[in-house]
Amino acid sequence: MDKTQNNKAWFLVLPVFLLVAFSAVLPLMTVVNYAFNDTFGDNVFYWVGLEWFEEVVTSSRMHEALGRQLLFSAIILAIEVPLGIAVALTLPKRGAWSSLCLVLLALPLLIPWNVVGTIWQVFARIDIGLLGATLAKMGIEFNIGQNTLDAWLIVITMDVWHWTSLVALLAFAGLQSIPEAYYQAGRIDQASRWAVFRYIELPKMKGVLLIAVLLRFMDSFMIYTEPFVVTGGGPGSATTFLSIDLVKMAIGQFDLGPAAAFSLMYFLVILLVSWVFYTVMTHLDKEEAR
């Protein structure tokens, strides 16, 4: 018996498409316009082709910001992913304690980004901050406004405190999906704790860990609010990541053409990395389905 298809449900989705078109596509078209044109005001544009892209690609300023950004993302992933897995492994799997731990673990994720930056900026101050003032009384020099290493340490610590919970929650969800029969088989074979983790838990967490890595890479690669509130991109340009540099270029210097080209390249990098992760995840799902 043939089933008639009713496509009227698409009318329910139409407002969403219109909202996305208005809030995303139109601004993107404006950015593309600025990336390939120059203007001197009065809404008059002059075609410049790839000039702004060449300027951005050959700029040492962008190379330095990109290097800082990649270094920051690599450090964040190297710390938060193993730490999140370790936290997930130590959480109780069931009961009231498990629920309480999950709620407490999720609390940092509920704090707005600008508030997180403000908390850690005050925490690191050498006059009233708990960390900064304590270290100053101990005779230890700690100044995020003058010392590059101190600024990096506080920004990295802040991000680890804020986002490790996300990795831990995703890893915990992956652990919860493992059937008890796998652990029973491990106990029968007298497998060590490391063997259980290596051959049972880690393979079953591959999917959620890839999601965690993707989310953390995307967020760390686009980070702006927290380091800007804490250090303002300083000392000097030590913590001026790509997003901060882009905002300074667009708003501070009003170089709309290079900033538009910069933002398009920025967007394409994020899109490319997301596509790579999506391809890997799809490949893993196909392998598990076999």
For residue range 72-100, what is the model confidence (pLDDT) as tens digits? 999 999 999 999 999 999 998 888 888 89
Nearest CA-CA partner of 154 in 167, 139, 142 = 142
The ranges assigned to domains in the chain are: 63-239
pLDDT of residue 283: 78
- 235 prior amide bond cis, ω within 30: yes
Helices (H) and strands (E) in the chain, counts: 15, 2
CATH architecture of 63-239: Orthogonal Bundle (1.10)
Out of 66-80, 120-134, 148-162, 275-289, which region has the weakest mean confidence (pLDDT)? 275-289
Q: How many CA atoms lie within 13 A of 167 on its CB side?
A: 28
**What percentage of the chain reaches a pLDDT higher than 70?**
96
Q: Which of 8-12, 53-57, 204-208, 277-281 has the highest mean pLDDT?
A: 53-57
User: pTM value?
Assistant: 0.86
CA angle 40, 41, 46 (to 5 degrees): 50
For residue range 230-278, what is the model confidence (pLDDT) as tens digits? 998 889 889 999 899 988 888 888 888 899 999 999 888 888 888 887 7
